[in-house]
Structure 1
Amino acid sequence: MPSPQPSSALRSPRLWIGTGIIVAVVSTLFALLYVGGNVNPKGNLRDLPVALVNNDRGAGTGDKHVNIGDQVVSGIKKAAADNDSIDWQVLSQAEADKRLGQGKLYGALVVPQDFTATVSGLSAPQAKNPAAPTLKVLTNQAAGSFGSSMASQATQKAAHGASAQLGKELLGRASEQKAPLAPAAQLMLTDPVTVQVADGHPLDTHSAMGLSAFYYALVLLVSGMLAANVIHSQVDTALGYLHSDFGPFRQRNPLRRTSRVRTLAVNSALMLGLSVVMGSLVELATVGVLGMDASHLGLLWLYSVATIAVVGLSALALLAVFGTPGMLLSTIVFVAMAVPSSGATVPLEALPGFFRALAEFEPLRQLTGGLRSLLYFGAQGDAGLTRAWASMGIALVVSLLFGFGMTRLYDRKGLHRVPRPAESAPSAEATPEPASA
């Protein structure tokens, strides 16, 4: 008599409901996190750091010494008093250059040394071909392309506003003079200042316009996370807990029982060893093959290996403690929440408060900051490298304590991955005796 065919798995409500809830949560989380962090950067913009530098030496006018650069700076600060989107920082040229070189400023507005003298020359009656006064706008793509662009827009708007205000004052003074102005000077007084845009911290051509640090960090993070999944699966296959399918062929090894702690130790040892291979290949591919601009190659290699190892060990801890859901948790922690809070594409100052809070501990933010220091800022500790190393150290300790602590607890309570024969077989008291004849 033919055996009955098993019912289709598609008829199981439990399968539909369970799977549906998981994919619904994942898709909703990704939509809220990815789009929510970037949907309104201008509306969320708060305290974007931009420098105001006044190098103007001033000039004598009659009995007074006038410094129009001071007026420009104070005018910009006054105009921005009710707007907290830009954090205008009045700095010296040396301090501004230092902070630009550490990625702590997205741009700067610089008043040149001869600004007052040049402006005064416009209203001089004898001036036939007066030179145009200039204000220089400095950008900083190394701190982030989008943030640098927002800073550039703000500084250029402030410079043109200062020019318009200055033009009104100069036209008023010119009308009080008895001698007429030269036609060229009178035309220039309407909008007297020329705004020049320059790069405050130039980058080389193979730096992805300031995004190579982000892409490199993302490669390291994804490599560590995927390696953890592969290692976890391969070790389970080798121990006989899982089988592997290669096309139509299936591999199933004999079951070798081992503790959860020992399994995690084996996974961790593999992760540490393979992170050396992976970190080396990532640097070889990006720098050696693709020609990405990079210096401090030895330190970059160490950073790459350490990053993959720490991310991989953290993901392995989640897999060891939570099992299959650990893979989903890794994706949420290392991708869904990390990318929008990284501050790489949209600066932290233009993110909602929730994402700014995430950036305090999310790994991609710390990794990108460290790589910006290595690739753009001469490996300065204050440029993000110290914070990155400290964050990796904390993550490593927390992951090891969490992973080995929880797996040891599981082992102590007898929560083995496959019940041992003595645990799964019925007890002697419960075994029914055969009936006597």
Structure 2
Amino acid sequence: MAKDVAVQKHAAMPEHTPRVPLRGWIGPMLIITLLAALLGTMYLGYTSDPEKNLHDFPIALVNQDVGDVVNGKTVNIGDQITAALTQKIPSDKVDLSVVGINEAHTRLQEGRAYGAIVIPGDFTKRLNILAASAVVPGDVEQPIITVETNPRAGTYASQIMSRITDQALGQVNATVGAQLTDQVQAQLKPPPGAAPTELVGAARLQLATPIDVVTTPYRPLGSGTGQGLSAFFYTVILLLAGFSSSLLIHAMIDNVLGYVPAEYGPWYRHLPPVAISRWRTLLVKWGIAALTAPLVSGVFLGIALLLDMPIDLKLPLFLYGALAVAAVSITGLSILAAFGTVGLIVNMVLFVVLGLPSSSGTVPIEATPRFIARLADFEPMHQIYLAVRALLFFDGHLESGLGHGLWMTLFGLAVGLLLGFVVTHAYDLRGLYRLGVPHRTETAVVE
């Protein structure tokens, strides 16, 4: 009996191995090389020189200076600085908007500005007091310009904001200092025949850089937020969960239905195929994806809370997380149903390769090459990031990205459902069923 079994196992192996065409060996190498080229272009392209790629970087400029009277004339240095910044900061790189303080703070609260430059109401008056102190001894405070960064909109965006303002306000400080020095020097001009009076060293140094530029975060983030990166990584796990679940559900359900084999180490299983249409197969996969998504979102939320991650809007984050995972998974399953094995590559490119560079979770969209920035209009990861960031850092305001992210996630889900419905019905109507031509398997038996 043991001999019969052994022979049957041997007989089940093909006697002649068919020749594999050359393209069968070269194909994987070519696809991987092309994928590597795309990965290199996307990932290295958006990190190589973000500040060189700046475009439309939103900054608010607030001028509250009321001016002062100098030698009988009304002077407003704040207006002069506003005009200088508007002219000197390149408009093709930075979107500098002159707004009021309330509008500036609204933009910061909604993540529509990466920072604000605030000139206080007594700016000119303090400059005049500083100039007078160079002639008349006394205690004096430097006039202040405040740079408010927005760490909730992105850590790297705050760094870019600081570098832009350091360079621009450094030039402003030098220009105002030169004007102030000339003004004081003119006041010290002696009468005819008298010896000239010069500014002492300390006064000259003080007047050379009269403005104290103070950089401070607007609504700083607390602990447990990864300095603003927690929203990005929460987005990544939501998208990867949806992406991975589409692959797993597709493979495991096809195995259960008998359309693909399963291997577990040395064990091999291939069940008889079930007579089921493509549309009904996709419906089963969609149903499992929809039931799994809330479980996955709940697991992520629970782990975040166990790790003391600050989450004020727990229920909205759970609900949106379930929606995001379901949308990515269902769309991924529809792509696999439409393209088959090629759908694996399509999903990887759509959700991962193009998604991370255009997400704006690490480098702001306004600091990426324009071709990457255009991807953010439709790439799923960017839409999910906007919604998650709004729920975690911006109190769930619709204007802070939640409304846009929610709408685009629903739109993506609708596209995925429509794609799956149309393609599977088209295949079924044309008779392109997944059942192959029946064949007979013969087993050799030794008598």
Q: TM-score, normalised by structure 1?
A: 0.91
1:392 equivalent to 2:402? Answer no
1:64, 1:259 → 2: CA distance? 86
1:345, 1:206 → 2: CA distance? 17
Q: Decide which moves more: 249-258 or 186-195.
A: 249-258
2:358, 2:146 → 1: CA distance? 32
TM-superposed CA distance for 1:8, in Å, is 9.5
Give 1:111's match in structure 2, choosing from 112, 115, 119. 119
Question: Deviations for 1:203-240, whole angstroms, at most 9, x for unmatched residues?
Answer: 11211111211111111001001001111111111111
User: Retained in 1: the 8 A contact 2:65–2:123?
Assistant: yes
1:226 alignment partner in structure 2: 244
Give 2:83's match in structure 1, choosing from 74, 83, 93. 74
Letter paired with 2:53: N
1:240 alignment partner in structure 2: 258
SS at match of 2:296: helix
Q: How does 1:91-110 map to 2 (within 5 A)?
A: 91-110=99-118
User: Retained in 2: the 8 A contact 1:128–1:185?
Assistant: no
1:204, 1:420 → 2: CA distance? 63
2:419, 2:362 → 1: CA distance? 32
TM-superposed CA distance for 1:327, in Å, is 1.1
2:231 alignment partner in structure 1: 213
Letter paired with 1:217: T
TM-superposed CA distance for 1:420, in Å, is 5.8
Q: Decide which moves more: 335-344 or 121-130.
A: 121-130
TM-superposed CA distance for 1:404, in Å, is 1.4
TM-superposed CA distance for 1:375, in Å, is 0.6
2:179 alignment partner in structure 1: 169
Change (3 A) 1:223 1:64: same
How many residue pairs are counted as aligned between the two chains? 419
User: Retained in 1: the 8 A contact 2:273–2:435?
Assistant: no
User: Retained in 2: the 8 A contact 1:52–1:88?
Assistant: yes
RMSD: 2.1
1:367 alignment partner in structure 2: 384
1:358 equivalent to 2:375? Answer yes
1:434 alignment partner in structure 2: none
User: Retained in 2: the 8 A contact 1:50–1:107?
Assistant: yes
Q: How does 1:336-347 map to 2 (within 5 A)?
A: 336-347=353-364
2:49 alignment partner in structure 1: 40
User: Retained in 2: the 8 A contact 1:268–1:313?
Assistant: yes
Letter paired with 2:351: F
2:292 alignment partner in structure 1: 274
Question: Deviations for 1:214-267, whole angstroms, at most 9, x for unmatched residues?
Answer: 111111001001001111111111111122222222233332110000000000
User: Retained in 2: the 8 A contact 1:129–1:184?
Assistant: no
Instruction: Provide structure 2 residue ranges, at least 5 long, that are not aligned to the other structure.
Output: 1-9, 190-196, 441-447
Letter paired with 1:152: S
2:129 alignment partner in structure 1: 121
2:5 alignment partner in structure 1: none
SS at match of 2:52: helix
Q: Decide which moves more: 253-262 or 59-68.
A: 59-68
TM-superposed CA distance for 1:144, in Å, is 1.4
2:32 alignment partner in structure 1: 23
2:219, 2:104 → 1: CA distance? 11
2:205, 2:255 → 1: CA distance? 81
Letter paired with 2:142: A
TM-superposed CA distance for 1:129, in Å, is 2.5
Q: Percent identity?
A: 34
2:60 alignment partner in structure 1: 51
SS at match of 1:60: strand
1:158 equivalent to 2:176? Answer no
1:186 equivalent to 2:223? Answer no
Q: TM-score, normalised by structure 2?
A: 0.89
Change (3 A) 1:339 1:30: same
2:329, 2:163 → 1: CA distance? 41
1:408 alignment partner in structure 2: 425
Q: How does 1:140-155 map to 2 (within 5 A)?
A: 140-155=150-165
1:431 alignment partner in structure 2: none
2:379, 2:120 → 1: CA distance? 41
1:178, 1:248 → 2: CA distance? 95
Letter paired with 1:350: A
User: Retained in 2: the 8 A contact 1:243–1:253?
Assistant: yes
TM-superposed CA distance for 1:45, in Å, is 0.8
Instruction: Provide structure 1 residue ranges, at least 5 long, that are not aligned to the other structure.
Output: 426-437
1:378 alignment partner in structure 2: 395
2:121, 2:263 → 1: CA distance? 73
1:90 alignment partner in structure 2: 98
User: Retained in 2: the 8 A contact 1:34–1:340?
Assistant: yes
1:135 alignment partner in structure 2: 145
1:141, 1:285 → 2: CA distance? 24
User: Retained in 2: the 8 A contact 1:318–1:403?
Assistant: yes
